[in-house]
């Protein structure tokens, strides 16, 4: 069964808001239909940052100064980041900045990257990523290269013969924007 991550995140954030209003943990658990232990975990993960006179922030646990927080809410900045959904699965190999760079390079054509023809192939893109984006010794599979290309909005499908402009672009570059 696929979990509804955004729904769970919404429930955690609702719980955090209730906790910040001073609602008891048992009542928060009852209102949201979760266990008291879950609410306890949220309270621990929730941090309250207090502005100090030194220009920095001091992070305190939720329990430390709840009463002061309730009295002086404007002095506090709350951070719900610890309660938000984290990406699932293995972290991506290519940084977001490198993805933007890769998209520009792909649009410029293979000749601008030093290849004899202007067509991109998976092998060429794989080599380009290996040299420019990955650390020494890291490799990227052809499957991951294909996923990356699709994520950037490109595809390798040959366009129908009815769309002559796209067909000419595909013949010239070897890919089209989907």
pLDDT digits (tens, 9 = 90+) for 111-126: 888 888 877 888 889 9
Give this prediction's pTM: 0.48
Q: Which residue positions in the chain have pLDDT lower than 50?
A: 1, 49-65, 76, 178
Task: Give the pLDDT score at 58.
Answer: 41
In sequence order, what E strands does 108-165 have?
154-155
- As a whole number of angstroms, the distance between CA 39 and CA 82 comes to 14
Kindly state whether residues 61 and 119 are assigned to the same domain: no
Domain boundary among 54, 83, 112: 83
Tokens of 9: 């995140």
Domain boundary among 38, 56, 83: 83
Instruction: Give the residue from 55, 83, 111 where a domain finishes.
Output: 83
Whether 91 maps to a domain, the answer reads no
What pLDDT, on the 0 to 100 scale, is given for residue 93? 81
Range of the domain at 123: 96-177
Per the domain annotation, does 88 fall within a domain? Answer: no
* Integer Cα distance of 145 and 148 in angstroms: 5
């Amino acid at each position: 069964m696929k979990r509804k991550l955004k729904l769970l995140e919404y429930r955690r954030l609702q719980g955090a808001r209730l906790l910040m209003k001073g609602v008891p943990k048992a009542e928060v658990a009852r209102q949201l239909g979760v266990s008291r232990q879950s609410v306890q975990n949220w309270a621990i993960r929730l941090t309250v940052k207090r502005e100090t006179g030194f220009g920095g922030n001091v992070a305190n646990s939720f329990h430390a100064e709840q009463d002061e927080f309730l009295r002086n809410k404007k002095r506090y900045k709350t951070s719900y980041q610890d309660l938000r959904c984290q990406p699932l699965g293995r972290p991506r190999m290519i940084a977001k900045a490198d993805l933007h760079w890769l998209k520009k390079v792909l649009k410029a054509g293979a000749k601008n990257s030093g290849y004899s023809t202007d067509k991109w192939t998976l092998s060429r893109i794989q080599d380009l990523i290996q040299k420019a984006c990955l650390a020494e010794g890291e490799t990227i599979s052809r499957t991951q290269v294909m996923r990356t290309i699709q994520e950037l909005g490109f595809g390798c499908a040959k366009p129908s013969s009815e769309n002559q402009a796209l067909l000419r672009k595909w013949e010239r570059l070897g890919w089209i924007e989907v």
